[in-house]
Amino acid sequence: MIVGDPNLDPELRARAEAASDVVPVLLGAAARLPQPGNSMARVYALGLYGSMIEQFSACVLLAQFGEPSTIPIILRSMYEALVDLDNLVQDASYHCRIEHANIKQTLSLMRAGPLREALQKGRKEQYDELTARLAELEGEGEGKASLSIRKRCKEVGRLDEYESLYALFSFDTHNNASALAERHMSENEEGQPVLSFFGKYDPKVVASRLDFGLQFLFEAAHFVHGAFKVPAPEVEELIERFKRERVARHTS
């Protein structure tokens, strides 16, 4: 049975199906991970990893159904989760930075003009608790405050990726001219611009983007299973297989 677009490029279909097969393997290995208990660092680590698996599954489905334009937007979110996970497994107290970012964003929303009256008064107890917790985190110094994505990348030696991969994915997220042109623009025989929705795309580019997602996912699996000290030999076998296949594609 064919899943997705029956007219999908054969090579892209094969790559997407192979990528799809990764998800149940990772889920099977993740089922052996222990529950986090009261450790917020573990709660966030498992939450980030689970989100990445779900996001990658969405990327695969978009590729299989021939609607890949939003894959880079999802990859950007995956990469941000990977960077947070990398920071978290290196420093368990990093969970305070994640909490700080969440509270800061929530309070910003509650203080916004259109919602101020309803949220600050209608949910006064919650507002006061969040305000107190934010002050507590900020009172403990810079080590508890949230960081920009650039600083988060720098903390774990990913500044080069931030300036290349992350910047590339941001093109699509921000809907700039390059992203819009890739999604919608082509030329007719007279050389005039033609705008289309759900138009043609380069299957090789889509396949390469799935490879980025796999790379992020495999790194995340390493981090999580290493941090929880739960071996996942089936995941390691997958990683080695995809490495061999990538080398074979690039040397053929």
Tell whether the model's pLDDT for residue 1 goes beyond 90.
no
Is 57 a domain residue? yes
Residue 174 domain-assigned? yes
Residue 109 counted as domain residue: yes
* Residues 228-251 pLDDT 10s: 999 999 999 999 998 898 888 877
The predicted structure's pLDDT at residue 93: 92
Q: Does residue 233 lie in a domain region?
A: yes
Best CA proximity match to 188, nearest among 177, 199, 203, 179:
199
The CA distance from 181 to 172, in Å, is: 10
Whether 4 is in a domain gets the answer no
Q: Is residue 1 part of a domain?
A: no
Residue 3: is its pLDDT beyond 70? no
Could you tell me if residue 5 is inside a domain?
Answer: no
Q: In the chain, how many domains are there?
A: 1
pLDDT (0 to 100) of residue 156: 96
In a domain, 226, yes or no: yes
Q: What is the pLDDT of residues 109-153, one digit of tens each?
A: 888 777 777 776 778 888 888 889 988 888 876 668 889 999 999
Higher-scoring residue by pLDDT: 198, 205: 205
Give the domain range for residue 193. 10-251
What is the pTM (predicted TM-score) of this model? 0.89
Q: Over the stretch 79-109, which tens digit does the pLDDT of each residue have?
A: 999 999 999 999 999 999 999 999 999 888 8
